[in-house]
Amino acid sequence: MSHDPYISSRRHFLKRSLSLIPLAAASGSLLTHEALAAEKKSESVTEHYVPAFFNNDEWRTVIAITDRLIPEDELGPGAVSEGVPIFIDKQMELPYGYGHLWYMKGPFADAEPELGYQSSSVPRETWRRGIRGLNQWCHEQHNAEFSQLPSETQDRVLQKLEEGTVNFRDMSGKLFFTQALDNTKEGYLADPLHGGNQTLASWKLIGYPGARADYPQVLDHPNQPYPLGPVSISGKRII
């Protein structure tokens, strides 16, 4: 979601930058060409999933947002086919979604990220309120909900959220965008055990070996790419 100087590829940005970011936290902006997103999609593990937290209307919006943040392109499958919406839905029913991992009593104030989570809304509230506000705004401006808009329009809407130029009645648009983007990246980089990254595509992309426990064969070859494919906690692997 950025201006013309950044128009190259969301996934090229991902490949350059996310190898340096812990799997549990990531933030930033991702871009791609519409022509690449329009190519044949990988089979999606999200298609037959029944969400536990999101209702049907919300689920369409989650899928649409994650698809625009990390779409499929020539470097691999996108967020939707990798199950990132599933990851997000599952997180909303865990302690993280309820805000049980943070101190959630007031006062609440704007502060540097290093000082911890500052919003009075826990993640599940941020998603629910943000989706409602987003779709209301889209209806007012475009006579359709977000998931029904053309991809180019969706990108412009997300850019406005990121810039903080669109806000909702009970939610900062930028806060919602940050929540959505962080969770999308987390799901794309997570172990498949948690719902996303089902084919280990992101680990393969950045050269992350995953849960492999034996590295002696590479100790004599410093500064060279790890030669074996990633392995998940459950034993799923790419040779």
Domains of the chain by residue range: 4-210
201 closest CA partner among 77, 37, 19? 77
Q: What is the mean pLDDT of residues 157-163?
A: 96
State mean pLDDT over 86-115.
85
State the Cα–Cα distance between residues 212 and 228, nearest whole angstrom: 9
Q: Which of 87, 103, 110, 98 is nearest to 180 (CA)?
A: 87
Helices then strands, counting H and E runs in the chain, come out as: 8, 0
DSSP 42: P
What tens digit of pLDDT does each residue of 64-74 get?
999 999 999 88
Alpha carbon distance 76, 224 (integer Å): 23
CA dist., res. 45 & res. 173, Å (int): 29
Comparing CA positions, the residue from 148, 163, 176 lying closest to residue 1 is: 163
Position 41 confidence tier, pLDDT thresholds 50, 70, 90:
low
Tokens of 213: 């426990």
Cβ count within 10 A of residue 78: 25
Q: pLDDT digit string (tens) for 102-154?
A: 777 777 777 776 776 777 789 999 999 999 999 999 999 999 999 999 999 99
What is the H or E stretch that residue 107 is in? none
